[in-house]
Amino acid sequence: MPRRSKDWNEGLAKDLRDSTFAKEFIMASIEDGISLQEVLCKIIHTVGIKEISKMTGIAAPNILRAVAPKSNPTLTTLNKLLKPFQLKLMPAPMNTSNRSVSKIKKRVAG
């Protein structure tokens, strides 16, 4: 991510304390192709690791380990990190049409 001024980061930190803003920030960043771990890392470093730790109930070292670029956090951990922002990860269908959904329902029904 590009370097920003101290004032910009302070303003962002203030804005990210609002869970609605943070939620939109996370969703917009992901839509722009930024990885979830990168977005969470930005939020954690901007808001503060101690505050995020209090919000999530996860120890600070575990949070930092989960958002490290080469880590592979569990779904449970990511959902705990997203919970303060009223978000969670879950499977969602890709490019399904009503026809394909009805085919699946017929197969399941037997």
The one-digit pLDDT tens for each residue of the chain (110 residues) are 556 566 666 777 788 888 889 899 999 999 999 999 999 998 888 888 999 999 999 999 999 999 998 999 999 999 999 999 999 998 888 876 555 556 666 666 65
pTM of the model: 0.72
What is residue 14's predicted lDDT score, i.e. its pLDDT?
81
User: Which tokens go with 41?
Assistant: 């890392």
**Cα separation of 110 and 94, whole Å?**
23
What is residue 107's predicted lDDT score, i.e. its pLDDT?
63
**Cα separation of 10 and 96, whole Å?**
42
